[in-house]
């Protein structure tokens, strides 16, 4: 029986690639050059499984015509880069990697919140530029975090892990918006309280942190009127997806002092970051590092291994999303 032919669109952790090479007839992207949608479309015609990552684009057009692939083992929890309806229409199973990146993504949100509140990026730039003149009572004054209110949009795994850090680690009040009702006792485990609308959360919060999925349902959830609804002087943190924020409206809100700062790990057109954001001292920018730890990236890869192994053994993949 020939081994299933699989293709990885990018370089993965070496230990994971080694397991895949043992179990499958694997094509690796040894140059690690991002694949175009046309190249991915070709791979879908020539392989039994394609293993994309969150930075690939799989619009409906890549699924046109005759397709050999039966499964997409996505390396990542978010899958808004895949046209799920089109994949489903071709009978393709799609899996993701939930759970294993919860802590690391919540940590990156905390890092952004602390960096923007305490001006960590600015301070580091000042020292590296040899511009620091020494301690004085009025130097680079930031915002105290303890005792402040953080508002979380999306109370899934990562939202909860972030709430726990904010409340139990940093003494913050935590409110959140979630589409479905969360039992008050469950919310209390994370030191958090549910409010009925996004607007109520925005009005109550000194920091707003986004933890909802990207894609059509949340596209530009943070728009000009939502920025205007934020507390004056508040900060936005985004570790969710770039498309959840209208970047032009964010830039305007920062320029006009509607909000005080932002901490961003994700962008609308990654890896492009708007020039205006690059020039703003009150914005902390990271290059989509939420899950970027050795432990988490290995665990994400091994989840994909488990998912596609289950699929080709005729079992239900543990993390099937379509
Ligand atoms: C994901 O898995 O969706 C993350 O954005 C990758 O860090």
pLDDT, one tens digit per residue, over 25-34 is 999 999 999 9
Distance of CA 76 from the midpoint of ligand 1 (Å): 5
261 ligand 1 Cβ < 6 A: no
Q: Does 317 have pLDDT greater than 90?
A: yes
291 ligand 1 Cβ < 6 A: yes
Residue 186: the pLDDT is: 98
Q: In which band, very low, low, confident or very high, does the pLDDT at 268 lie, cut at 50, 70 and 90? A: very high
Provide Rg for the chain, Cα atoms: 21
Distance of CA 212 from the midpoint of ligand 1 (Å): 12
- Contact between 149 and 173 under an 8 Å Cβ cutoff? The reply is yes
- Contact between 161 and 174 under an 8 Å Cβ cutoff? The reply is no
CA distances from 118 to 130, 167, 233 (A): 20, 18, 14
d(Cα 194, Cα 284) in Å, to the nearest integer? Answer: 28
Fold observed for domain 102-285? Rossmann fold (3.40.50)
Q: Does 242 have pLDDT greater than 90?
A: yes
101 ligand 1 Cβ < 6 A: yes
Q: Which of 82, 241, 291, 293 to mutate to test the pocket of ligand 1 (most atoms within 8 A of CB)?
A: 291
Q: Which pair of tokens denotes residue 11?
A: 């370089």
Give the pLDDT confidence of 68-89 residue by residue, as tens digits.
999 999 999 999 999 999 999 9
Q: Which of 290, 292, 296 to mutate to test the pocket of ligand 1 (most atoms within 8 A of CB)?
A: 290
Q: In which band, very low, low, confident or very high, does the pLDDT at 1 lie, cut at 50, 70 and 90? A: confident
* Identical topology for domains 5-99+294-312 and 102-285: yes
Residue 282: the pLDDT is: 97
Which residues are known catalytic residues? 241, 270, 288
262: which strand partners? Answer: 236, 283
When pLDDT is averaged across residues 125-135 and rounded to a whole number, the result is 98
List, in order, residues 6 or more apart from 74 with CB less than 8 Å away.
51, 52, 53, 54, 82, 94, 95, 96, 97, 304
Q: Which atom of ligand 1 is nearest to the CA of 75?
A: 2
Q: Name the 3-class secondary structure at 199.
A: helix
Does the domain formed by 5-99+294-312 have CATH 3.90.45.10? no
Distance of CA 44 from the midpoint of ligand 1 (Å): 22
When pLDDT is averaged across residues 287-316 and rounded to a whole number, the result is 98
Q: Which of 12, 52, 54 to mutate to test the pocket of ligand 1 (most atoms within 8 A of CB)?
A: 54
Q: Which atom of ligand 1 is nearest to the CA of 105?
A: 7
What are the structural domain ranges in the chain? 5-99+294-312, 102-285
When pLDDT is averaged across residues 104-127 and rounded to a whole number, the result is 98
Task: Return phi, psi of residue 148, to 5°.
Answer: -85, 170
When pLDDT is averaged across residues 195-199 and rounded to a whole number, the result is 98
Q: In which band, very low, low, confident or very high, does the pLDDT at 63 lie, cut at 50, 70 and 90? A: very high
Q: Whose CA is nearest to atom 3 of ligand 1?
A: 78
Residue 24: the pLDDT is: 98
**Closest by alpha carbon to 111, among 294, 300, 286, 298?**
286
Q: Does 166 have pLDDT greater than 90?
A: yes
């Amino acid at each position: 029986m020939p081994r299933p032919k699989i293709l990885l669109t990018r370089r993965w952790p070496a230990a994971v690639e080694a397991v895949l090479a043992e179990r499958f007839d694997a094509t690796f992207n040894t140059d690690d050059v991002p694949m175009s949608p046309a190249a991915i479309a070709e791979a879908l015609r020539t392989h039994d499984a394609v293993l994309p990552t969150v930075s690939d684009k799989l619009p409906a057009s890549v699924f046109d015509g005759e397709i050999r692939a039966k499964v997409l083992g996505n390396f990542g929890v978010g899958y808004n880069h895949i046209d799920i309806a089109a994949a489903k229409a071709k009978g393709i199973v799609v899996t993701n990697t939930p759970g294993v990146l919860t802590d690391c993504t919540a940590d990156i949100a905390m890092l952004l919140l602390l960096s923007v509140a305490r001006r960590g990026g600015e301070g580091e730039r000042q020292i590296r530029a040899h511009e620091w003149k020494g301690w004085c009572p009025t130097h680079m004054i930031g915002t105290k975090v303890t005792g402040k209110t953080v508002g979380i949009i999306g109370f899934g795994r990562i939202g909860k892990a972030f709430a726990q850090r904010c409340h139990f680690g940093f003494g913050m009040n935590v409110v959140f918006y979630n589409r479905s009702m969360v039992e008050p006792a469950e919310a209390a485990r994370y030191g958090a309280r549910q409010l009925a609308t996004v607007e109520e959360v925005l009005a109550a919060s000194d920091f707003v942190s986004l933890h909802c999925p990207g894609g059509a349902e949340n596209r530009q959830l943070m728009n000009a009127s939502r920025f205007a609804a934020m507390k004056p002087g508040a900060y936005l943190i985004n570790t969710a997806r770039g498309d959840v924020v209208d970047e032009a409206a964010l830039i305007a809100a920062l320029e006009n002092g509607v909000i005080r700062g932002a901490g961003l790990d994700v962008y609308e057109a990654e890896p492009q970051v708007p020039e205006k954001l690059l020039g703003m001292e009150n914005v902390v920018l990271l290059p989509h590092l939420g899950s970027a730890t050795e432990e988490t990236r290995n665990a994400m890869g091994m989840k994909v291994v488990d998912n596609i192994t289950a699929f080709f053994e005729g079992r239900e993949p543990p993390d099937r999303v379509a």
